[in-house]
Structure 1
Amino acid sequence: MVAVKNRYMVMEVFIDPNRECQKNEPVVLTQSNVLKAIKESILLNFGECGLASSLGSFQVKYINPITNVCIIRTSREAHQRIWCAITLIQRIASCSVFFNLLDLSGCIRACRLVALKCDEAKFEQLKIVSGDRLSPETIRLVKNCFEKIKILDH
């Protein structure tokens, strides 16, 4: 029996600061809207056959809506196709975005450590920038995301 070989990508999502959204509502990144945007990009750029061959182990494992860091799992054979499709994404929920690859690894443990470091650093920056205006709800949400990433496994 052959073990399934996966690749894990730690991605940072940058939302356009000018917020040239078609609707004036805030964009909250969720697993479903990131997954939908990636699938649409694969379908547009690689067709139905490319989409079908990419969906084997494709999953958005983790996303932090405050720091906009996510972990994406894909099969070893399809990781370059998915990475390419991710770089071609221009909009999520009618807002301009682009992705930055922070780490690519064959195991989730290494990606989890990179994502946790990045999340903590971005949250410290957010605390410095916002000062006392950070709501308790935001702090609770970030702490929940930190706990979620610490227990993240296959």
Structure 2
Amino acid sequence: MIGFKNRYMVMELFLDPCKDLGMDEPVIITQFNLSKAIKDNVLINFGECGLASSLNSFQVKYVNPITKVCIIRAITMVRSVGNCPMIFNLLDLSGSIKACKNAALKCDELNFEQYKLLAGDRLTPDCQLHMQNCLEKIKLLEH
């Protein structure tokens, strides 16, 4: 018997910077709204039958709203979350969650270092705590 293989993708999200300037509230990327955006796009591109057949292997494993790094087990053809245009940048592709965990952890740490440099004095202790929680969450990921 052949086992079913999944592919995990470590992705970085780039939101449209022009959209952030005109909005009262910035778009916050969560597992829920990213999952909804992917499901909506699969429904548009493949219909109800395609969505139903892909739901068994679909999962958003991890999302960091600060660094915009996520781990997804899915098909991605997403061009927007809500009304905000965005682009996915594939950082790593693997058949195991362990390899993706390591790649995402490395990317998250590098992106947060850049974020700290850009934020400077405006970096709040809450933001640092949230980032530490995200790093701990990624270390605990399993199947």
Q: TM-score, normalised by structure 1?
A: 0.87
What's the counterpart of residue 40 of structure 2?
Answer: 40
Distance in 1 between the 2:43 and 2:111 partners?
32
What's the counterpart of residue 139 of structure 2?
Answer: 150
What is the number of residues matched between the two proteins? 143
The alpha-carbon deviation at position 22 of structure 1 amounts to 7.5
The alpha-carbon deviation at position 18 of structure 1 amounts to 1.5
What's the counterpart of residue 78 of structure 1?
Answer: none
Residue 133 of structure 1, aligned match among 122, 140, 143: 122
What's the counterpart of residue 79 of structure 1?
Answer: none
Q: Secondary structure at the match of 1:66?
A: coil
The alpha-carbon deviation at position 2 of structure 1 amounts to 4.8
The alpha-carbon deviation at position 152 of structure 1 amounts to 0.7
Q: 1:38 to 1:22 in 2, by over 3 A?
A: farther
The alpha-carbon deviation at position 24 of structure 1 amounts to 2.1
Residue 85 of structure 2, aligned match among 78, 96, 103: 96
The residue type equivalent to 1:40 in the other structure is D
Distance in 2 between the 1:129 and 1:22 partners?
21
Per-residue deviation, residues 15-67 of structure 1 (Å, max 9, x unmatched)? 11112587521111000000000001001011111111111121100000000
Identity of aligned residues (%): 59
Which moves more between the two structures, 99-108 or 20-29? Answer: 20-29
Distance in 2 between the 1:115 and 1:144 partners?
14
Distance in 1 between the 2:10 and 2:80 partners?
19
Q: TM-score, normalised by structure 2?
A: 0.93
Mark the runs of 5 or more structure 1 residues left unpaired by the alignment.
Answer: 75-81
On the 8 A contact 2:35/2:60 being kept in 1, the answer is yes
On the 8 A contact 2:20/2:27 being kept in 1, the answer is no
Mark the runs of 5 or more structure 2 residues left unpaired by the alignment.
Answer: none
Distance in 1 between the 2:34 and 2:63 partners?
9
